[in-house]
Each structure stands twice: as C-alpha cells, then as structure tokens.
Amino acid sequence: MTDLTIHEAARKLAARNIRSTDLTRACLDRIAARDTTLNAFIAVLGDRATADAEQADREIDSGRYRGPLHGIPISLKDLIDLEGVPTTAASRVRAHHVACGDAPVAAALKAAGAVILGKTNLHEFAFGTTSEDSAYGPVRNPHDPSRSPGGSSGGSAAAVVAGMGLGSIGTDTGGSIRIPAAACGIVGLKPGAGELSCAGVVPLSWTLDNVGPLARSVTDAWILYEAMRGTPGRDIQPLDAPPLHGVRLGVLGGYFVDFLEEGVRERFGEAVEALRAAGASITHVQIPHAPLIPAIYLHLVLADAAAYHAEMLDAAFDQYTRAVALRISMGRYILAEDYARARRGRAILRAHVDDCLERCSALLLPTLPITAPKIGATVVELGPKKDTLRNVMLRLTQPFNLTGHPAISLPCGGAVPPGGGAPLPVGLQIVGRRAGTIDLLRLARTIEEIV
Amino acid sequence: MTVQEWLRAAQADAERRGLVDLKPLLETLAQATAALREAAFEDDSGLTAQRSRLHD
C-alpha cells in the first residue's frame, strides 16, 4: 500500500477501497522499520497524522471528498513551518524554534486534505548537496545506505523512495529538489520562480529559493503542485500527455555535457534517442557564458545567505555544523561591486535561456552529472578532470535557479557507479519556458512514458 | 580594489577571527570573483537590451 502513487491511492480512497487511516498507519510502520537506517525524518507526527487520517475518512464517508490529496500521507522538509511543530532546518541553532503558524504551502496542502506524517531531514539550512551536514545526522540513500541521497532535500527523497509517505515537499535554491530526486530515482519539480510562496520557509537565498514537490510520478508532482498553488482539482484524472510528434527539444551542449560520469552520459544519450524515435525534433543548443554559471551563483547565494544568517552567526557560530558556518561566512566578504556583476550575469544568462526557448519547447540535459556519491566524499575525479563534489552536484541544476525557468527531473534508468556495484538512478532534466510550469509538466508526463 | 588585494584583506580578517579554515574557501571565492570580473558581459548588450530583461 505504501508503494502506491498518489494518483492510484486517491482513486482507491475515493472509491472507499482503502482507508486513509490504514494507508497512514502503513506509512508510519514503514518509518518505524526503515528510518533507523535512513534517518530521513527529524520529527514523526504519528498521533497528529492518525487524527488527520481519521478525519479524512469521516469526511470521505460522508461524501465530503476534497480531491486527489484527501487522506494522502506526505511529509514536509523541516524548513517549512507547520503550526505547533519545531522548524529546525536541521540545525542546533533552531532547536528551540516552534512554528506559530503554517507556511502558506503547508496550509494549502492541509486544506486539500493531505495528512502530514512528519518533517524530513536535510542538509543544515539547505546549504549543501549531500544531506550529510545535519544536526540530526546524515540521511542515507535507500538504494545504498553507504551513499548520499543528494540534497538538500535528501530526507524528502529518501522518504518517498522508501514508502515513508507517498510524496514530500522540498525546497530548491540550486537544485535541492532535483538533485535528490535524481540521486534517488524519483520525480522532482522546481516550479518557475515566484510561483509558490516561500513565506514560512527558512530562506537560503531570497532571490533563488523555490518550494516544490518530490513524488513517484509526474502526475503526482502535478497534484502536489496544484494543491500548493491553492488550485487543487477535485477530479482524479491523470495529467494529460500531449503527443511528442513535431515537438522541438533542445539538447544543451558544451558546459552542460563536459563533466559527466560515463553511465550518466550513456543514459542521457539513450533518452534523447528514444525521444527522437518517438517523434520529437531534437536540436542542439549552446548557452553563452555557461562556464560562468558557478561564479554567478556563488556570489548571489553566499551574499543572500550571509545577510539572513549574520546575527545568528555572530551569536551562535559554534552551533552550526562547521562546514555550513564557514560557507555562510564566505558571503560576508563579497563586495557590492561583485554582487552587482553577478546580477548582471544572471540577467544575461536568463535572456540567453529565453532565446533558446523561443526556438524549442523545452531544453534537455542530465540532472546530476554523477550517480549518488559515497557519504564522506568531497571530490569527484572523472579521468583527468577533478572538481569539488559540491560544484559537480550543483553544476546542471543551479543555472535554472538563476534564470527562474521551471525544471523537472525524471528517472531515466540506472548506471553502475565508478568502482562498480549495483546500478544507481540517473535523472533526466527538462527545462520549460518561464510561466510555463503546467506545459512543462504535460511534456514531462509524455516523456516519462518514453524514457 | 583588485581581487588579490581583496583576498589578502579577507584572509587577514579570517585569521584575526580565528577562522583559519576559511582561508582556502576564500581562495576559491577569489577565483570565482576573478572569473566574474573578466567576463565580457557587455558583448551581450544588444541581446539583453532587445529583450528588456536586464533587470531582476
């Protein structure tokens, strides 16, 4: 039962073939069985979730069905306020914080009838890509617990994969939804900039943050996205999938394919060929200045993070994990003139991506250049090329936080990691036009059937 | 202020604050800053002006 998609479970709940209390209990049992290993949750809200599930069953029994999230157990990244529950951001700095209200996205999910199972673990303050630096210990990848699930929404991704809830809500400042979705083999959506409220969500960067869903299918991601927009549908229909014939898709070259694990390159190439065979028109595109993306991103995210954390850093530096405290401290040295240069670069990058998307319906690239890294890894070497793990993991996702375009990661098979072992998930990233998140989701729905 | 001048000042401040392990991170940031300053973004003024998308 815990392996159902939201869409499948909704059909069964609406038909009263299953009960929300049973589904919620099954998820709580799965958490009890698996989370000692995976460490995906910071807080499990068993009593509260059970009470909410009982209410959902009563409402459904009496004909007051709210729609496809009614009675569905999900989780929230512990960066998102839920009234009466601590929002720790995985940091000792916030150990005593208790949310005095729901974040608007949490309120919208509750209004749609979702049952909140708990708050998921993350990289402290969302400032990292592995979910290792957490006051509550590292999150582990359900496919191989010696590996990271990616981050920063690593607990959310691990929970969805392991049946500890049918979906989860994460945040994405440089890839923190899409990276763990790719590393864990699920769907992760970063909506277009500003579409979903970030109020009541502990910020990393006011100009780059997004809230979005992690789920087992594109339809499930769409259901969660619509609920968070405050426009949940009442019908239980899958998202329509338009035909691919004649759709022009742009494959990004240069910087975007220069640093890839061989297995990731192979799966990506196979996905592109499958889409071509299914009728898509494939064209190759370049983004000028792409090699400057990490520098632009670094100046913006560090400055924003330093501004938010300044007082806490002065008062409680030693309460942060060392790596996160040092990274935030870097932002306090950035000069205003360099911040302005980064803003200029961001605007130019956005214009170039817009230009590509006037010629294509969407852009294609891998989500993550590598398979899930071993916990403790800090450097990636691919032949003669070498870079820090953080740079590598952010490389292909951060561009679209800078430009604000919606982007989604879909699973596209598995690859044997360097050094051997069982295949690990690989993610395909699809980037849509600004203000085109629904169109992107429809296209992704078609593509998920093909890759 | 050149990037090298900035880096020397930033590393000296980090050392004064007892954050010696911040110094290599600041070197990384200095490399990124240098790349940003060397970027020929003005070459794109035609594209961005045409699109009126220069502002966040």
CB of A208 within 8 A of CB of A300? yes
The CATH number of the domain holding residue A51 is 3.90.1300.10
Of A295, A350, A351, the CB nearest to B32: A295
Chain A nearest CA to B49, separation (Å)? 10
Q: Give the mutation candidate from B29, B45, B52 for the A interface (greatest A CB count, under 10 A).
A: B29
A387 assigned to some structural domain: no
Question: Is A20 a domain residue?
Answer: yes
pLDDT for the residue numbered A74: 98
Min Cα separation A295/chain B (Å): 5
Query: d(Cα A83, Cα A99) in Å, to the nearest integer?
Result: 5
CA distance A362 to A433: 7
Q: Say whether A190 is catalytic.
A: no
Instruction: For residue B56, give the nearest of A207, A326, A335 by CB distance.
Output: A207
CB contact under 8 A, A333 and B13: yes
CB contact under 8 A, B1 and A335: yes
Q: Do A351 and B29 touch (CB under 8 A)?
A: no
pLDDT range class, residue B47, cuts 50, 70, 90: low
In order of A129, A324, A429, A436, the CA distances from A332 in angstroms are 21, 13, 33, 36
pLDDT averaged over 10-residue windows placed end to end, chain A, 451 residues: 97 98 98 98 98 98 97 98 98 94 98 98 98 98 98 98 98 98 98 97 98 98 96 81 95 97 98 98 96 98 98 96 97 97 97 96 98 97 95 98 98 96 97 96 98 96
Determine whether the interchain pair A343/B32 forms a contact, defined as Cβ–Cβ distance below 8 Å: no
Return the structure tokens found at A173.
Answer: 């400042």
Cβ within 8 Å, pair A348-B41: yes
Q: What is the pLDDT of residue A233?
A: 74
In terms of residue numbers, what domain contains B7? 3-51
Coil, strand or helix at A350: helix
| Residue A153 a catalytic site member | no
The pLDDT score that the predictor gives to residue A95 is: 84
A410 strand-pairing partners: A428
Residues of B at the A interface (Cβ-Cβ below 8 Å)? Answer: 1, 6, 10, 13-14, 19, 21-22, 25-26, 29, 32-33, 35-37, 39, 41, 44, 47-48, 51, 53-56
Q: In the predicted model, is pLDDT for residue B46 greater than 80?
A: no
Confidence grade of residue B45 (pLDDT, cut at 50, 70, 90): low
Q: For A108-118, what is each residue's pLDDT tens digit? A: 999 999 999 99
Residue A238 confidence (pLDDT) = 85
Active site (annotated) includes residue A176 = yes
Nearest chain A residue to B32 by CA: give it. Answer: A295
pLDDT at B41: 80
Name chain A contacts of B37, Cβ cutoff 8 Å: 338, 341
Dihedral over alpha carbons A175, A177, A183, A184 (to 10 degrees)? 180
In a domain, A256, yes or no: no
Per DSSP (E only), the strands in A292-393 are: 362-366, 379-382, 385-388
Average pLDDT on B36-56 reads 61
Q: Cβ of B36 and A342 within 8 Å?
A: yes
Q: How many domains does one find in chain A?
A: 1
- What's the pLDDT score for residue B44? 56
Distances (CA, A) of A98 to A65, A80, A84, A94: 31, 11, 6, 9
Q: Give pLDDT, residue A288.
A: 93
In-domain check, residue B56? no
Number of domains making up chain B = 1
